[in-house]
Chains A and B, each alone.
Chain A
Amino acid sequence: MSSSAHPGINLGGGDPKAQRESETPAFGFWVFLMSDLIIFGVLFAHYVVMTGARAGGPGPSTLFDLRSVAAQTFLLLASSFTYGMASLALKHQRQVRPVAIWLIVTAALGAAFVLLELRDFVNMVGEGGPPQRSGFLSALWALTGLHWLHVTAGLVWIATMLALLSRFGLSDRNKTRLLLLGLYWHFLDLIWIGILSVVYLGGLA
């Protein structure tokens, strides 16, 4: 219906046909992300309500390792940047190779994030803070764990995307998928900023 393209990175005038065909999926994916945002929103609210429910268990000052969190933040933001480079390569260079390379870099950064956070999770259990310990810890693990699962799913998607690229090249459908994957990846960044501010910085403030 509308002539305006969906917000965010797009294929632009360079490839009007692919751009037109991506319009409905991209809009639909935005809507999906908004419903996903509700899930995170509810978990954020729950976390805030439960901050006091420690039942004598450990709290932020024992559990959080700000240096690790800073490293994770850097990795995830950098991966968003490299994904942006992949999008630009898609829009301007229109070749599989640069797009794939940037995707691989993105995946590597994402994987580092996932491993680093996994290490934090293991450490938390070691310090007496598994999710079963208190209402507060359940809320904490649910929120950060869900984000972690999202990033992991994103890694699977990137791997699939690379396979699709090698199989079909920069077909119109693959271009659309790259747009959606980008939305997803940046969205996870946004959620992480929320977690960083509310959980980590808020918890230690």
Chain B
Amino acid sequence: MADPIFGRLDWTVTPFDDFFRDPSINEGVAAAAASAVPLGAVAVIAFLTWKGLWGPLWRDWLTSADHKKIGIMYFVLAGVMMLRGVLEGAVMRTHQVTALDGGVLSAEHFAQLFSTHGTIMIFFVATPLITGLMNYVVPLQIGARDVAFPVLNQISLGLTAAGAGLVMISLVIGKFGTGGWTMYPPYTGTTFSPGPGVDYWVWAIGISGIGSTLAGINIAVTIYKKRSPGMKFLRMPIFTWTSLCTAIMMIYAFPALTVSTAMLALDRSLDFRFFTNDLGGNMMQYANIFWMFGHPEVYIVVLPAYGVFSEIAATFSAKRIYSYNSMVIATSAIAVISFTVWLHHFFTMGQGASVNAAFGIATMIIAVPTGVKVYNWMATMFRGRVRLSVPIIYLVGFFFLFVFGGLTGVILANPTIDYQVHNSQFLVAHFHNVLIPGVLFGVLAGVHYWFPKAFGFRLHEGPARLEAYLWFGGFSLAFLPLYWLGLMGMPRRSASYDNPAFEPAMWLAVVGAAMVVGALGVAIWNFWASARDREALACPVGDPWDGRTLEWSIPSPPPEYNFYALPRVNTVDAWTVEKAVGHPYEMAPRYTDIEMPRSTAMGVVIGGASAAMGFAITWWIWWLAALSFAVIVAALIARAFVRETTRTIKAVEVEVAHRAFLREASRTPAVGRDDEIAPDNLGHARPAVPA
């Protein structure tokens, strides 16, 4: 029976305890990973205290409702989680080279690793990365001062962070579930998984999933309602288009995840019979509902990456995007079709040949609009004056690798083939092949591209190139051999195997994983080194790449209200046209008072209370669960009574700031594209060619 105060928590739940009882490599790895969390936390706390940064952290970041800061915080969160996720990938690879007839880790530990790795990578890396990117970029691209609901934005971030926090805590207190990132019942029901592990997953995903739904609503409404004058739908940058489609997909896909997760929670906590083996439960319904979310999710994360590639293909080729309209149509088509293919994730579940055929065909059709896009990007670069900068390196890498991954997807879409290779390493290769060259390369390209906008200085080009090559090479070695393994019959999620023929490919894969870890190391070093050299890399005028869209018309970093005066737009690529034939860097005829949201602790309170609630239910600490829930409700009600939610910035103040910026712009010499990565590039672009 659970203790009334501590539920099922006691001193035996930490991996340290296991390590002392059984000092093996397996337990050592677990204990080391578990120590990393408190040690990392202590290091961060010590650093903040030493530098006296608690005040600024609270005032300028955690309580800020500024979409730009929230976007950056999404990135920090995703970055920390990615570190853990990639290291787990490397640990799994290391284990698997030793796994012929055994292996250094226990099977259970390996199962936890692929479960946390998959969960983290999808929900706490890919999703927050693209949410952060949209948060940062979309309002700037459409000429808005903030998102439609700034406080809600903060709450979305808080909920995502709460979920991530639960996954992190599970390293130290208790264990994570072993059901993979999809946590299929009945295995994850209480009969077979009585411990707290699956509950951690349920609450991490349940809470962060609601955050993602709300984020989607926010971004969609921002794009519908907050565009600056003249920004018609067909004048929006392609990144904004992809964000709109992604946001709409989030609104419709994440509720299905909320439902499947809530049902699993009811099964586990209140003994419902949704997915149990007995009393009429039906686990196929879990797969069904989960993938109604799951498939759209992969397009949710990849569409903004496509958007990034569209922006950089045009910018770094100094050409407008080839066939804007077909880009928009293809994006929308993907968003719609992606809701009609989910069944390809369980072709083998027995729904019959004709159903499988229909979904197989739908799956193949979705490759068509993606193909259209790839041709459009290539056509954009064709005969352009392409600069082979870091984002373009990612784009070219994407061309090779993503097309390959997409083609293996079309192969898997054929149910007869899928019967042979599903649940094999072929699948592992396939989804990493679309997620890494697709989503991750896109985000990395976007980071390099928009980093100077956010921080006022560029990243060093050399290390960033090295990083890109390491990702390309590391990915190829780590995952392409797995296609071969899959065809040889090696199942996914194998803690050990008995066929020596699998070993060579496993060795290639571990080398690849090491290169990816190296890429991450280079990335961290480059952030640090570029911050150190920020004087030499500064681009305060804000247009280091001769950009085409509105965000490049404002200083770097942008003022909190983004635009001194809302721009009037009458074409696509408004900023390029302005630079070519208009009057860039001019005073506005009139300035108005600007209302900006005030800081609030809502996000922190709701996020913190949600994390406490999830933790409490996981450990059956019912009083804490009730208390946290009450805090959430009370906070929401109390917020309604707050009167002063905005703060006014006076028109004169804005005018003075604008005049100062224009003076700086006119004093800064314009540089051509040959000097793009030279210290001379202070962000004032000499337009390469007329629009």
Interface positions of A (Cβ within 8 A of B): 1, 23-25, 27-28, 31-32, 34-36, 38-39, 42-43, 46, 49-50, 53-55, 57, 131-139, 141-142, 156, 160, 163-164, 167-168, 177
Q: How far is the CA of A131 from the CA of B643 in the complex (A)?
A: 44
Nearest chain B CB to A153 CB, angstrom units:
9
**Which of B105-113, B258-266, B665-673 is the contact stretch?**
B258-266
Report whether A1 and B289 are in contact in the complex, using a CB–CB cutoff of 8 Å.
Answer: no
- Is B674 in contact with chain A by the CB < 8 A criterion? no
Picked from B221, B224, B258, B279, the residue with its CB within 8 Å of the CB of A134 is B279
- State whether A28 touches B217 (Cβ < 8 A): yes
Bound complex: CA A164 to CA B643 (Å): 11
27 of the cross-chain contacts (CB-CB < 8 Å) are A27-B221, A34-B252, A35-B213, A35-B217, A35-B252, A38-B255, A38-B256, A42-B255, A46-B274, A46-B289, A50-B280, A54-B280, A55-B280, A131-B272, A132-B270, A132-B279, A133-B279, A134-B273, A134-B279, A135-B274, A135-B279, A135-B281, A135-B282, A142-B263, A160-B640, A164-B641, A168-B643
Which listed residue, A49, A133, A167, touches B273 by the CB 8 Å rule?
Answer: A133
Contact B266 A31 (CB under 8 A): no
Given A43-B259, A164-B640, A28 and B149 touching (CB < 8 A)?
yes
A132 touches B273 (CB 8 A): yes
Determine if B279 and A1 form an interchain contact, defined as CB atoms under 8 angstroms apart. no
Partner among B218, B220, B226, B274 whose Cβ is within 8 Å of the Cβ of A138: B274
Chain B window 270-294, contacts with chain A (Cβ cutoff 8 Å), 1 for yes, 0 for no: 1111101011111001000100100
Other A-B contacts than A1-B227, A139-B274, 5 sampled, CB-CB below 8 A, are A28-B148, A42-B255, A132-B279, A135-B279, A135-B282
What class of interface size applies to chain B in its complex with A? Answer: 35 or more
Given A54-B280, A134-B279, the answer on whether A31 and B640 have CB atoms closer than 8 Å is: no
In the assembled complex, the Cα of A43 lies from the Cα of B260 at a distance in Å of 10
Residue B441 CB within 8 A of the other chain: no
| Cβ-defined contact, A137 with B220, below 8 A | no
A35→B280 contact, CB < 8 A: no
Neighbour of B217 across the interface among A32, A138, A139, CB < 8 A: A32
**In the complex, which residues 288-315 of chain B have their Cβ closer than 8 Å to any Cβ of chain A?**
289, 292
| A133 CB contacts on chain B under 8 angstroms | 273, 279
In the assembled complex, the CB of B639 is this many whole angstroms from the nearest CB of chain A, namely 11
Checking A46, A54, A136 against B285 with a beta-carbon cut-off of 8 angstroms, the contacting residue is A46
| Distance from B338 Cβ to chain A, minimum over Cβ atoms (Å) | 15
Q: Could you say which residues of chain A place their CB within 8 Å of the CB of B263?
A: 46, 138, 142
> Chain A residues with Cβ under 8 A from B271's Cβ?
132
Chain B residues, Cβ within 8 Å of A31 = 217, 220-221, 251
B640 touches A1 (CB 8 A): no
Shortest Cβ distance from B248 into A: residue: A31
Q: Which residues of B contact A (CB under 8 A)?
A: 148-149, 213, 216-218, 220-221, 224-227, 251-252, 254-256, 258-259, 263, 266-267, 270-274, 276, 278-282, 285, 289, 292, 633, 637, 640-641, 643
Quote the shortest CB–CB distance from A165 to chain B (angstroms): 11
Contact B255 A35 (CB under 8 A): yes
Distance from B201 Cβ to chain A, minimum over Cβ atoms (Å): 20
Given contacts A46-B285, A133-B279, contact A39 B273 (CB under 8 A): no
In whole angstroms, how far apart are the Cα atoms of A168 and B640 in the complex? Answer: 11
A42 near B220 (CB under 8 angstroms)?
A: no
In the complex, the answer to whether A23 meets B278 with C-beta atoms within 8 Å is: no
Nearest CB on A from B121, distance (A)? 25
Q: Which of A36, A50, A136 has the most CB of B within 10 A?
A: A50
B217 cross-chain contacts in A, Cβ below 8 A: 28, 31-32, 35
Contact A53 B282 (CB under 8 A): yes
Residues of B within 8 A of A49 (CB): 282, 285
A33 to B225, CA, bound (A): 17
Other-chain residue from B218, B258, B272, B633 in contact with A39 (beta carbon distance below 8 A): B258
For A168, the chain B residues whose CB sits under 8 A away are 643
| Residues of B contacting A135 in the complex (Cβ-Cβ under 8 angstroms) | 273-274, 276, 279-282
A132 to B280, CA, bound (A): 10
Q: In the complex the two chains form, is B279's CB within 8 Å of A55's CB?
A: yes
A42 lies within 8 A of B274 (CB): no
Q: Provide the residues of chain B in CB contact with A28, threshold 8 Å.
A: 148-149, 217-218, 221
Q: How far is the CA of A139 from the CA of B262 in the complex (A)?
A: 12
CA distance A25 to B217 in the complex (A): 11
Chain B neighbourhood of A24, CB < 8 A: 148, 221, 225-226
User: In the complex, are the beta carbons of A38 and B280 less than 8 A apart?
Assistant: no
* Measured CA separation A67–B256 after assembly (Å): 33
User: Contact at B256–A42, with CB atoms within 8 Å?
Assistant: yes
Residues on A with C-beta less than 8 A from B251 are: 31, 34-35
Ranked nearest first, the 8 interchain pairs of A and B with the lowest CB-CB distance are A135-B280, A53-B280, A55-B280, A38-B255, A138-B272, A55-B279, A28-B221, A134-B280
CA distance A137 to B637 in the complex (A): 34
Closest to B272 in A: A138
> A167–B643 Cα gap in the complex (Å)?
11
Which residues of the partner chain A approach B276 to less than 8 Å between Cβ atoms?
135
Task: Say whether A27 contacts B224, CB under 8 Å.
Answer: yes
Contacts of A38 in B (CB 8 A): 252, 255-256
A163 to B225, CA, bound (A): 30
The answer to whether B282 and A50 have CB atoms under 8 Å apart is: yes
A32 to B214, CA, bound (A): 8
Which residues of B sit under 8 angstroms from A136, Cβ to Cβ? 280
Q: Which residues of A contact B292 (CB under 8 A)?
A: 42
Complex CA gap A39/B148 in Å reads 24
Query: How distant is the Cα of A107 from the Cα of B276 in the complex, in angstroms?
Result: 39
Q: A55-B280, A138-B273 are in contact. Are A167 and B633 (CB under 8 A)?
A: no
| B225 surroundings in chain A (CB, below 8 A) | 1, 23-24, 27
- Most B CB contacts (10 A, CB to CB) among A25, A39, A138 go to A138
Q: How far is the CB of B535 from chain A (nearest CB, A)?
A: 42
- Min CB gap A57→B, angstroms: 8
User: Do residues A160 and B637 form an inter-chain contact, with CB atoms below 8 A?
Assistant: yes
For the complex, give the distance between the alpha carbons of A46 and B267 in Å: 15
Residue of A nearest to B217 (CB): A31
Q: Which residues of A contact B149 (CB under 8 A)?
A: 25, 28
The complex places the Cα of A95 from the Cα of B221 at a distance, in Å, of 31
Of the listed residues B263, B273, B274, B278, the one surrounded by the most CB atoms of chain A closer than 10 A to its CB is B273
Using Cβ atoms and an 8 Å threshold, which residues of chain B touch A55?
273, 278-280
A139 CB contacts on chain B under 8 angstroms: 274
CA of A54 to CA of B640, assembled, Å: 45
Rounded to whole angstroms, the CA-CA distance of A35 and B254 in the bound complex is 8
Which chain B residue lies CB-closest to A157? B637
CA distance A43 to B263 in the complex (A): 10
Q: How many angstroms from the CA of A39 to the CA of B206 in the assembled complex?
A: 13
* Residue from A23, A34, A42 in contact with B259 in the complex, judged by beta carbons closer than 8 Å: A42
